[in-house]
């Protein structure tokens, strides 16, 4: 039977995705019709992104699954018109991009590279960093991306603590969970990496109380979600010096408004949501594999737990 696959991502990217998806579906052995304007009542699968044209799934009466191009599904997981399985994007390209961003900025702050990049002005005063094994790094969130980053940093020798809402065991990491575990995880976080999903339970995970639990001068890296941080509380901690620096890639409002204090704060680095991008080839391969699995009656990869929101 021929599967009918609707592309409902960003319209401007259809010309890029059309050949990539067609190639991946062919290589996966899927017999399908692929388009960006198929009749709703004939669609079997939707390749979805929140910046695409679909928000009401009701007209798609024979829909079998929605396959997200984004890792984050917080904007669609609670959609009451979506009653079929939802799969989020977990792919090699996105994961590698996140690992590289997190590793690069962890090493940057661990080695104190900003001091030399901005110039010593003739002041020959060496400052020797500790070894990685003497530096405590905490990763909040041990999903696919958080675990991959934590394992990479542990492989470089850092003392890595991972925290998640539910108990997990990962070789080479100190794994903590729950409210008591969060306090312990923050206390050892000389460098803190935020990779939690965006859910009502995780909003403002970093607030005045939890920021105070960090060591003096801690560095925060947020390539996860903007809503994980209470911005005013973070700015206060940066102003006081309790937080030494924050390198932020995600924000509550994007693009970050020009008047926002993050742009001008001397202890803040802003990157424009570049830590991890869905890659054309690898994401198309993940989509194609899930269509193949669904057509073969096999379990889908990366299914979203709608009750948890991720």
Give the catalytic positions in this structure. 225, 273
Structure tokens, 177: 């969970």
Distance separating alpha carbons of residues 212 and 291, to the nearest angstrom: 47
Task: Name the 3-class secondary structure at 122.
Answer: coil
> Residue 268, SS3?
strand
163/175 Cα distance (integer angstroms): 6
Element (H, E) at 147: helix 144-155
Task: Reduce the DSSP state of residue 80 to 3 states and report it.
Answer: coil
Give CA–CA dist 88/286, Å, rounded: 10
- Angle between the 280-296 and 92-111 helix axes, to the nearest 10 degrees? 140
Question: Residue 149 is encoded by which pair of tokens?
Answer: 């980053």
Cβ(223)–Cβ(250) below 8 Å: yes
Angle, to 10 degrees, between the axis of helix 92-111 and the axis of helix 144-155?
A: 50
Q: Distance between CA atoms of 190 and 129, rounded to whole angstroms?
A: 13
Whole-number Å distance between alpha carbons of 28 and 180: 46
Q: How many helices (H) and strands (E) does the chain have?
A: 9, 12
């Amino acid at each position: 039977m021929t599967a009918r696959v609707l592309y409902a991502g960003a319209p401007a990217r259809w010309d890029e995705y059309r050949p990539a998806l067609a190639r991946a579906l062919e290589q996966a052995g899927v017999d399908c019709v692929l388009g960006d304007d198929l009749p709703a009542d004939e669609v079997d699968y939707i390749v979805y992104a929140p910046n695409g044209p679909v928000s009401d799934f009701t007209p798609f009466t024979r829909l079998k699954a929605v396959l997200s191009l984004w890792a984050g599904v917080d904007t669609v997981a609670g959609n009451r018109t979506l009653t079929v399985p939802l799969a989020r994007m977990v792919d090699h390209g996105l994961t590698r991009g996140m690992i590289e961003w997190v590793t690069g900025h962890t090493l940057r702050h661990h080695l104190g590279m900003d001091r030399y990049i901005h110039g010593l002005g003739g002041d020959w005063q060496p400052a020797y960093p500790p070894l990685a094994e003497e530096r405590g790094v905490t990763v909040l969130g041990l999903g696919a991306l958080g675990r991959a980053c934590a394992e990479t940093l542990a492989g470089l020798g850092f003392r890595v603590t991972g925290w998640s809402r539910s108990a997990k065991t990962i070789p080479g990491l100190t794994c903590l969970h729950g409210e008591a575990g969060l306090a312990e995880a923050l206390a050892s976080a000389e460098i803190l990496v935020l990779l939690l999903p965006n859910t009502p339970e995780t909003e403002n995970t970093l607030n005045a109380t939890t920021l105070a639990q960090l060591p003096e001068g801690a560095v925060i890296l947020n390539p996860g979600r903007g809503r994980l941080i209470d911005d005013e509380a973070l700015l206060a901690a940066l102003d006081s010096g309790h937080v030494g620096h924050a390198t932020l890639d995600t924000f509550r409002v994007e693009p970050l408004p020009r008047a926002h204090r993050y742009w001008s704060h001397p202890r803040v680095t802003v990157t424009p949501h570049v830590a991890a991008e869905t890659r054309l080839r690898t994401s198309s391969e993940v989509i194609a594999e899930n269509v193949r699995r669904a057509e073969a009656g096999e379990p889908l990869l990366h299914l979203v737990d709608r009750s948890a929101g991720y």
